[in-house]
Amino acid sequence: MSVLDDNIAKLDGYLVRFRETGIPNRIAGEDAAGSMGVFQSTSPVDKSVICDVAHGTAADIDKAANAAHDAFAAWRDMPASERKKIIIRIAEGIEARAEEIALCECWDTGQAYKFMSKAALRGAENFRYFADQVVQARDGQHLKSPTLMNITTRVPIGPVGVITPWNTPFMLSTWKIAPALAAGCTVVHKPAEASPLTARLLVKIAEEAGLPPGVLNTVNGFGEGAGKALCEHPKIKAIAFVGESRTGSLITKQGADTLKRNHLELGGKNPVIVFDDADLDRALDAAIFMIYSINGERCTSSSRLLVQDTIRKEFEAKLIKRVNNIKVGHPLDPKTEIGPLVTEEHFKKVTGYFDIAKEDGATVAAGGEVVGDKGYFVRPTLFTQADNKMRIAQEEIFGPVLTSIPFSSEEEALQIANDNPYGLTGYVWTNDLTRALRFTDKLEAGMIWVNSENVRHLPTPFGGVKSSGIGRDGGDWSFEFYMEQKHIGFATGQHKITKLGAL
């Protein structure tokens, strides 16, 4: 049996329960039907129905928010060492079921197993990392003044909402849920409607690890129903959101009446800038990896290649050869590098840019084609002869599609790089140290790598500027979001108190 057949057989075993029972909501440690019945989840690999999913709305969110509210005090007050043990057990549970998580994720989202097997383990790492911080998370400062001993302490903000997208949904949800739980918050999670499978696995793993009922609740449904209701719920104190920039604006508006604290991780149109003095082979490897891995459905993808005109021809020629070699195929085949796009809607969006590129006068130098008609497969695509005003250079396509734009000088590269509404990441390839310092200083992005692809290090801040978001994840930045700072001043003596009405 080939590895692909073996993986398909294993997946079938894992999907049995989903097929039999569907995916209910999980509220206060109990399965719950959706108040609007069910919707169906389909696989982008062959468009087949995977299972029914509870269709949650405002009524279900209300129950989940109340459950998270009721569970909050006990979870907040549990000794940190005990909370830490439970969170570590969640990490162990994820590791034990990493294969199941990865295979389900591939089938649900079309992502290649090659990348999802690692993404599941990164989910476990997120829990381990934040478990290690549980004990110090509440620590504060001592800020002595002449008359007072001032201390600060941090307390969890309360029940929070976590709203996640369909790209690497398991890993992204752990990125939010792990620090929230470590901070002492309770959570209502609204996973993306296109990828509900692994959110179900996560809540089950968490409860089996000893997470008390109601600390993590999952409500499935759509953005305009369950998502909106979560943002508007008065008992939910903050919303951690990952998704599109225009949804980010809606999240802000919907949370206005209840004064929600929002953390928004949004879209990107990230430049990779290749100067002619760079190590061009490594730059090529990194540029290809950052746009064509994970189906190009990643917020940090290097979707704009800015290449110096002195090396453009040679660089693009090598790029075309490599792009044409990328293996598109069944996501459960470990050799597959690109699987199908997540949904029909997204497939139509991405393939629509093949015509937009031609209409705008760019050249389709590689790809620009769909593959078969069984699922939502496309060839990895490269547009050349483009300029930065074109829609393919300005808009987030969110697929395996790269737009190459030439530049002649450092000033021009910087101007093009910054001439975009987004500002999530930037990748700079040069061996000129002073140029790297100058360039990164002026580049408008929340995260920049020099002579490297995106290598995530959990203690570093993750987030964007401009339309790419507000707020940072990672390290202590996550706790700043999920916790409130509290100041307490203790008088150290009999300092003078101004007397009123005491003539």
| Per annotation, catalytic residue among 51, 106, 231, 299 | 299
- C-alpha radius of gyration, the chain, whole number: 24
d(CA 245, CA 250): 9
In the complex, least distance from residue 195 CB atom to ligand NAD, rounded to whole angstroms = 8
316, two tokens: 């693009």
Q: Does residue number 353 form part of the binding site for ligand NAD (CB under 6 A)?
A: no
Q: Tell me if 44 contacts ligand NAD by CB under 6 A.
A: no
State the minimum distance, in angstroms, from the CB of residue 156 to ligand NAD.
22
| 467 touching ligand NAD, by CB under 6 A | no
State which H helix or E strand residue 136 sits in.
none
**Binding residue for ligand NAD, selected from 83, 228, 237, 379, defined by CB under 6 A:** 228
**Shortest Å distance, C-beta 435 to ligand NAD:** 27
Least spacing, CB of residue 354 vs ligand NAD, in Å? 19
Distance (Å, whole) CA 155 – CA 482: 9
Number of other CB atoms surrounding residue 30 within 10 Å: 13
Does position 247 interact with ligand NAD (CB under 6 A)? The reply is: yes
Provide the residue type at 437 as one letter: L
464 binds ligand NAD per the rule CB under 6 A:
yes
Binding to ligand NAD by residue 469, rule CB under 6 A? yes
Assess whether 299 carries a catalytic annotation.
yes
Supply the minimum distance, in Å, between the C-beta of residue 280 and ligand NAD. 28
Distances in whole angstroms, Cα of residue 323 to Cα of each of 68, 119, 380, 500, 503: 47, 23, 6, 78, 86
CA atoms within 13 A on the CB side of 131: 19
Enter the tokens of residue 389: 């005003």
The DSSP code for 83 is H
Measured in whole angstroms, the distance separating CA 268 from the mean position of its chain's CA atoms is: 12
Q: Which is nearer to ligand NAD, 32 or 445 (CB)?
A: 445
Name the segment binding ligand NAD (CB under 6 A); options: 33-41, 212-220, 226-234, 453-461: 226-234
Cβ 133 vs Cβ 183: under 8 Å: no
* Min CB(198)–ligand NAD separation in Å: 13
Instruction: Name which of residues 69 to 98 contact ligand NAD (CB under 6 A).
Output: none
What ranges make up the beta strands (E) of 43-110? 49-54
Q: Which of 203, 299, 350, 392 binds ligand NAD (CB under 6 A)?
A: 299
For every residue of 318-386, DSSP letters joined together read: HHHHHHHH--B--TTSTT-SB---S-HHHHHHHHHHHHHHHHTT-EEEE---EE-SSS-EE--EEEES-
Distance CA 269, CA 394 (A): 7
- Return the residue of 132, 232, 244, 410 that touches ligand NAD, per CB under 6 A: 244
Kindly tell me which of 95 and 244 has the beta carbon lying closer to ligand NAD. Answer: 244
Total chain residues near ligand NAD (CB under 6 A)? 33
Q: Which residue is nearest to ligand NAD (CB)?
A: 223
Site string for ligand NAD, 150-169 (x = CB under 6 A): -------------xxxxx--
CA 399 to chain CA mean position, Å: 15
C-alpha distances (whole Å) from 105 to each of 292, 399, 501 are 18, 17, 70
- Interface pattern 380-419 for ligand NAD (x via CB under 6 A): ----------------x-x---------------------
The tokens describing 155, both together, are 């307390």
Known catalytic membership, residue 265? yes
What would the x/- binding string for ligand NAD be over residues 203 to 222, using CB under 6 A? -------------------x
User: Which of 93, 158, 179, 268 touches ligand NAD (CB under 6 A)?
Assistant: 268
Alpha carbons 34 and 54: distance in angstroms, whole number: 4
* Residues of span 424-443 touching ligand NAD by CB under 6 A: 424
Torsion angle of alpha carbons 165, 169, 175, 176, nearest 10°? 50
DSSP letters, 409-439, are SHHHHHHHHHSSSEESEEEEE-S-HHHHHHH
Q: Which of 61, 157, 188, 192: binder of ligand NAD (CB under 6 A)?
A: 192
Q: Which of residues 133 and 468 has its CB atom nearest to ligand NAD in the complex?
A: 468
Q: Considering only residues 105, 265, 395, 453, which one is a binding residue for ligand NAD as defined by CB under 6 A?
A: 265
Burial class (CB within 10 angstroms; exposed 0-12, middle 13-18, buried 19+) of 373? exposed
Cβ-based nearer residue to ligand NAD, 209 or 294: 294
What's the rounded Cα separation, in Å, for the pair 399 and 166? 13
Annotated catalytic residue: which of 105, 125, 193, 265? 265
Name the residue nearer to ligand NAD (CB basis): 241 or 315.
241
Q: Give yes or no for residue 474 binding ligand NAD (CB under 6 A).
A: no
CB-wise, 224 or 369, nearer to ligand NAD? Answer: 224
Closest approach of ligand NAD to the CB of residue 373, in Å: 23
Active centre residues (catalytic): 265, 299
Judged by the rule CB under 6 A, the positions of this chain that interact with ligand NAD are 163-167, 172, 190, 192-193, 222-224, 227-228, 231, 242-244, 247, 250-251, 254, 265-268, 299, 396, 398, 424, 464, 468-469
